[in-house]
Amino acid sequence: MQREQIIVVKLGTSVLTGGTDKLDKAHMVELVRQCCELKKQGHQVVMVSSGAVAAGREQLLKSCGTSLVDKQMLAAIGQGQLIHIWQSLFALYGVNVGQMLLTRADVDDRERYLNARDTLTALLSYNVVPIINENDAVATSEIKVGDNDNLSALVAILANADKLLLLTDQDGLFTSDPRTNADAKLIDEVTHINDELRQLAGGSGTSLGTGGMATKLQAADIARRAGVEVIIAKGAGSNVILKCMSEQLPGTRFLKLTAPKDGRKKWLLAGPKSNGQIAIDTGAISALQNNGASLLAKGVTSAFGDFERGDLIDLIDTNNQVIARGLTRFSRSEVNKIKGAHSKNIAQLLSYDAGAEVLHRDDLVLL
C-alpha cells in the first residue's frame, strides 16, 4: 500500500483541447475520473488548469486578436466557463472543487504567500480539489508568473506536494526534437539539470498554450529543490495520471532533491523577486556549499541594487551566476562599507555592532 501523497496535476492547454481549438470535455472527464480514483486511494489532488484563454476563444464565437488585452479579455470570459466545466465533472463523482487564481505577487510577498498556503491547506483538509490558474484577466507582465508550468511548481511548494505531474502533448523530454528527428529517445530519468539539458528543452511548443519544454524544465528545477518529484508525461495517454503513481512511468521523471524543512526556506525557493545582488568570492562559495556556513563580510566583493536590511537578495559568483538567495542582515550601503573586512573590524567600520554575518545560514538557500 502506497503512502498517501499530495499530487499536483498540471494540465496544459494542449491536453485540454487535444490540439484542437475547443475544450475536449470527453477527455476532461477522463482526467477527472483518474483524479477521483487517486482521492479514493487516499491521496490529495491539486489541479493547475490552463485553458481559460482557449475557453474564452471558444465562447466568444468571433475571432479576436492575440494582444495582451485580447488575451486578458478571453481569460475573463473563459475562466468562468473553465471552472464551471471542472465543477460539473467533479460533481459526477461527488467531489467539490475550489478555484484559486494567483499571480506572482501572491507568492513574492511572504504574507500573501502564507495566506494562499492557508487557503490551499484548508481546501485539502475539507477534501476539496483546488483548481488553480494564473489570474490572467488582471495579471500584467510585471506580476505574472507567465506560464502554468512555473505556476504549478510554485503551487507544489505551496501545497507541500510530493509529486508534480506536468501533463502535456509530448511523452516527456527527448534526446532531440521527436517532431523532426526520428532517432530522438525519451529520457526516462533526470538526476541533474544542466545547460545541456536546457538546450535540449528548447522553446515553446504549441500556439494556444504558453509553455514548452523549456518552462517545464524550469518548473522541474524549482520543484525538485523543494523536495517534489516531477514527472512530464503525455496527457492524452490512457490512465496517465494513475500510471504516474507507479514505477512504470510513461514519461520523464525528475528525482527530488533533499528539501529544507523550514517553511521560510521553501518560500525562498519559490523565487520571490530579489531586491539586489551580493557578489562573493570563491572561498565564501565553498564555505556556503561545502560547510553550510553563513556568509561573512570577508567573502563579499561587491553589492548591487537597492536593498535594505531584511530584504531578499541573490548571491552571485564571479561569472554572475546566482548560487544562493536569502535575507540580508545589512543594507547595500552597509555591505559596501564592510565588504572584504575581517569580522573583528566590522563594528568599528559601521560604528555599531550588528554581528559579522551578512547572511545567516538559517536565512539562505543554495540553488
Residues interacting with ligand GLU, by CB under 6 A? 12-13, 50-54, 133-134, 136, 147-148, 209-211
Measured from the CB atom, the residue of 12 and 326 that comes closer to ligand GLU is 12
Minimal distance, residue 239 CB to ligand GLU, in Å: 23
The residue type at 28: M
By DSSP bridging, strand 364-366 and strand 322-327 are antiparallel
**Beta-bridge partner residues of 8:** 46, 164
**How far is it, in rounded angstroms, from Cα 253 to Cα 298?**
41
Measured from the CB atom, the residue of 206 and 275 that comes closer to ligand GLU is 206
Q: Are 79 and 131 in contact (CB under 8 A)?
A: no
Q: Is 105 known to sit in a ligand binding site?
A: no
Reduced to 3 states, what is the DSSP secondary structure of residue 230?
A: strand
Q: Is 119 known to sit in a ligand binding site?
A: no
Q: Is 148 known to sit in a ligand binding site?
A: yes
**How far is it, in rounded angstroms, from Cα 241 to Cα 221?**
21
Measured from the CB atom, the residue of 232 and 268 that comes closer to ligand GLU is 232
Q: Are 131 and 47 in contact (CB under 8 A)?
A: yes
Minimal distance, residue 136 CB to ligand GLU, in Å: 5
DSSP 296-345: EGGGEEEEEE---TT-EEEEE-TTS-EEEEEE-SS-HHHHHHHTT--GGG
**How far is it, in rounded angstroms, from Cα 165 to Cα 146?**
19
Minimal distance, residue 151 CB to ligand GLU, in Å: 7
Minimal distance, residue 265 CB to ligand GLU, in Å: 27
68's CB contacts (< 8 A; 6+ apart) are 140, 141
Measured from the CB atom, the residue of 147 and 363 that comes closer to ligand GLU is 147
Q: Is 127 known to sit in a ligand binding site?
A: no
Measured from the CB atom, the residue of 17 and 277 that comes closer to ligand GLU is 17
C-alpha cell at 319: 561569472
C-alpha cell at 3: 503512502
Measured from the CB atom, the residue of 52 and 213 that comes closer to ligand GLU is 52
Q: Is 67 known to sit in a ligand binding site?
A: no
Q: Is 177 known to sit in a ligand binding site?
A: no
Q: Is 305 known to sit in a ligand binding site?
A: no
Minimal distance, residue 34 CB to ligand GLU, in Å: 20
Minimal distance, residue 78 CB to ligand GLU, in Å: 7
Q: Is 216 known to sit in a ligand binding site?
A: yes
**How far is it, in rounded angstroms, from Cα 159 to Cα 350?**
42
Please give the annotated binding residues, written as ranges: 10, 50, 136, 148, 168-169, 210-216
Please give the annotated binding residues for ATP, written as ranges: 10, 168-169, 210-216
